[in-house]
Amino acid sequence: MVSTYFSYNYITRNLRQSLTRVEQQPDVAREAAYYRANIGKVKTVDDFMKDYRLYHYAMKAYGLEDMAYAKAFMKKVLESDINDSKSFVNKLVDKRYREFAAAFSFNGTATPVAQSDNQTDEMIGLYTATKKSQVDALASDSSYYSAQIGSISSADQILNNDRLRNYVYSAYGIDQNKWPPATISQVLRSDPSDLNSYVNTTFASQLSGLNAQLAQAKSDASAANTNIANYTAQLSQPGANVPQLQVQILVEKHHLETYNNSISSLNDQITEIGGFVDLAGAFEFLPDGSLPAGVPAQTAANIALTKKRFDDSKADVYAAASPIYEALAIKQFRADLLKINSVQAFVSTPGVYDFALGAVGLDPAKVSKATIEAVLESDLSDPKSYVYTLKDDRYVQLARAFNFDAKGNLTTPLVAQDAAEVLQIAKDYVIQAVKSASTASTKQQAAVRAQATKDATAYQEAIAGIDSVSDLLANRPMVDLILLAKGLDPRKVGDDFLKKIFASDLNDPKSFANTQSDPRFAEIVASFNFDSKGNVARLPMMGPQKRDQLRETQANYVQQSLEQQQGETNPGVRLALYFQRKAGEITSAYDILADKALSEVFRTTFDLPDQMAAMPIDQQAKFVDRFMKIKDLSDPAKVAKLLNRFSAMYDVKNSESTGQGQSPLLNLFQGSSSGISGISESTFLAIAKLRSH
């Protein structure tokens, strides 16, 4: 039989080719093709478990073939929430079950929702920032007005300056869409005390007639109210002609509505004329639009009055920015958001609609709901979709803040990484950081953990702002954190290499990412939701699996097949390959001791007897820490050296058990060719203790 040492080294030196050979084997290729073709049809856990080939394929991929019979148990695993520390799967010691559960999204990890928690938090923050910005803009407008009004020398100078004109129009209630600048120029040149001035002959002269009409409309409305009350009272009288009375009540209500509309319209006209008169009186312009020599456009009193009127016209803006109003609006938004299950529900719910539009700086009163519906149903990945035709980033911002499909139904959030992926990266980063400090003092380890946790939290917050590959790669600290989380050394990964990795087509086995000897780079790309153009997109699910979950499952199946096939010839090679695959996940001595295969590799590597497993677990852990540094298991080169020693020692141990002579390779590690078959178990432990010093 070929030695374990030779077989293991041959496979690892040519691991990519070895995996490719296994992948191309007819039975492996057939099962992989069946899985890819049918996993997309699965809707529920029961669907999955009823399909023997799908279920057993996945179980083998995660090293759980021997548990395939326990379907009730495995169903509980798949239905567990891996993010809940108290869930069924998280109470199991064997990590394989958690890995298996994490490979599927049966438990709502891709549940359609109007907004994710991050989106909601961002919108609330945006709302607060927008309201403050609006108030700051009003203060800036007032400061600008105060600074510029003293230099004005003609009426038309005000009208030709957009900021000054808008300020004056707001202060005096002038609708610039209704009144042309020429009309307002004439008003500014008017003297309200001159009965023959433009403002008086054109506008103020209408007041007496309008007031008379207003008085009549109010009288008519009062009469209609009286009639409605009388007819209503008669309904309950004996012998009343109820149908006739009901008709009369309806007629009077119609009249009342007409009178009330008239009252509202007349009040608006009277207020508007009052604004024109006040505007004329607030400025000192002569009939030709100039100013008398040495006279400013406005007195100090009129400047103050204009500023007060401006602030009064913006009362809603100031109120919306007040802490009390903001708190109420946010509370209402959170409550009403739970009711949103479609675009139609969105535009019909003021607590959400007004809040969302206000957050992005849109005025709900000036935007049609049909426009908003079309915006929210736009495909953000299509540059020709409706939202981009508006040429206004506020609409794009609104569309990104909510999750609706082309039919107005809920869909999944548009994010660079799904929440589960983000959480996993954060967890893995903390684990790797703590692992790197395994030989440090307890205090130093605590400090490393605290900083790593802080960095991981920052990553979880920052990833929400990534919209493309270019955004991600421009943030090198974020990229470094991802690499470290995967156990990779950022110093050895250049920017050009990363660009090629993320530009790879993961469906092409010959792409740059897929031809790398280290599969972790392709795993990183697969964990992001980037389309072929490098933009964030909603990548399609394959039934209960996302792209990276499907990829991992199929890669694991090939790896498991390789290990099993090697194990049929030489169990030592299978043990070495398994340890190599799991090394990056080991964070403490207890991870090794909790896994029979890993602990066997450890004992064999360092000539420790199997009976050592009967010792108290804490004492076993001390032996592990004496013989190896856990942080070294993140270094592929050091893992390879360790497994070279294991494979040689495995050959020696098994040659003894079959009565063969000792392998000369033992000299590389022991410096002697003397046999060890006669050494007692107690002596084994004594030697181990001596070697640890």
CATH code (residue 149): 1.10.3700
264 part of a folded domain: yes
pLDDT tens for each residue of 435-473: 888 778 888 889 999 999 999 999 988 898 898 999 999
**Domain boundary, last residue among 495, 510, 538:** 538
Judge whether residue 688 has pLDDT over 70: no
100 part of a folded domain: no
For residue 512, CA distances in Å to 11, 34, 332, 517 come to 22, 26, 50, 10
Sequence-ordered list of residues with C-beta below 8 angstroms from that of 280, at least 6 positions apart, any chain: 187, 188, 190, 191, 192, 197, 199
Judge whether residue 116 has pLDDT over 70: yes
Where do we find the tokens 């100031």?
318
Average pLDDT over residues 365-370: 94
Percent of the chain exceeding pLDDT 90 equals 67
- Residue predicted with more confidence, 519 or 680: 519
532 part of a folded domain: yes
Predicted local distance difference test score (pLDDT) of residue 654: 83
Average pLDDT over residues 71-90: 90
pLDDT tens for each residue of 11-64: 888 888 888 899 999 999 999 999 999 999 999 999 999 999 999 999 999 999
Report residue 380 as tokens: 């953000």
Judge whether residue 349 has pLDDT over 70: yes
Are both 197 and 310 inside the same structural domain? Answer: yes
Predicted local distance difference test score (pLDDT) of residue 656: 56
Are both 429 and 308 inside the same structural domain? Answer: no
Which domain range does residue 487 map to? 419-538
491 part of a folded domain: yes
Average pLDDT over residues 221-240: 93
Predicted local distance difference test score (pLDDT) of residue 110: 52
**Domain boundary, last residue among 280, 297, 317:** 317
Average pLDDT over residues 555-573: 92
Asked if 597 contacts 604 with a C-beta cutoff of 8 angstroms, the reply is no
Helices (H), 203-299: 207-234, 242-281
Judge whether residue 674 has pLDDT over 70: no
475 part of a folded domain: yes
286 part of a folded domain: yes
Are both 441 and 309 inside the same structural domain? Answer: no
pLDDT tens for each residue of 279-338: 999 999 999 999 999 999 999 999 999 999 999 999 999 999 999 999 999 999 999 999
Cβ neighbours, 10 Å, residue 627:
17
Question: How many structural domains does the chain have?
Answer: 2
On average, the pLDDT of the chain sits at 89
CA angle at 423 for the pair 73 and 341, rounded to the nearest 5°: 85
| Cα Dmax for the chain | 128
Predicted local distance difference test score (pLDDT) of residue 1: 57
Long-range CB pairs of 123-128 (<8 Å, 24+ gap) are 123/333, 123/355, 123/356, 123/359, 123/401, 124/330, 124/333, 124/359, 126/359, 126/360, 126/397, 126/401, 127/326, 127/329, 127/330, 127/333, 127/355, 127/358, 127/359, 128/326
Give the pLDDT band of residue 548 (cuts 50, 70, 90).
Answer: confident
pLDDT tens for each residue of 524-533: 999 999 988 8
Judge whether residue 183 has pLDDT over 90: yes
Alpha-carbon dihedral of residues 284, 290, 295, 298, nearest 10 degrees? 40
Are both 153 and 301 inside the same structural domain? Answer: yes
CA angle at 215 for the pair 212 and 217, rounded to the nearest 5°: 110
Asked if 145 contacts 172 with a C-beta cutoff of 8 angstroms, the reply is no
**Domain boundary, last residue among 317, 347, 363:** 317
423 part of a folded domain: yes
pLDDT tens for each residue of 627-673: 988 888 888 889 999 999 999 999 888 875 544 444 443 333 343 33
Closest CA to 527 of 482, 584, 491: 482
- Residue predicted with more confidence, 507 or 223: 223
Average pLDDT over residues 607-616: 88
Are both 313 and 459 inside the same structural domain? Answer: no
pLDDT tens for each residue of 244-287: 999 999 999 999 999 999 999 999 999 999 999 999 999 999 99
366 part of a folded domain: no
- The DSSP result for 359-405, as a single string, is HTT--TTTS-HHHHHHHHTS-TT-TTSHHHHT--HHHHHHHHHS-B-
The Cα 145–Cα 143 span in angstroms is: 5
Are both 159 and 294 inside the same structural domain? Answer: yes
Are both 153 and 287 inside the same structural domain? Answer: yes
With b for 16 or more beta-carbon neighbours within 10 A and e for fewer, the 3-39 pattern comes to bbbebbbebbeebeebbeebbeeeebeebbeebeebb
Percent of the chain exceeding pLDDT 70 equals 94
- Residue predicted with more confidence, 615 or 117: 615
Q: Which helix (H) or strand (E) holds 636?
A: helix 636-657
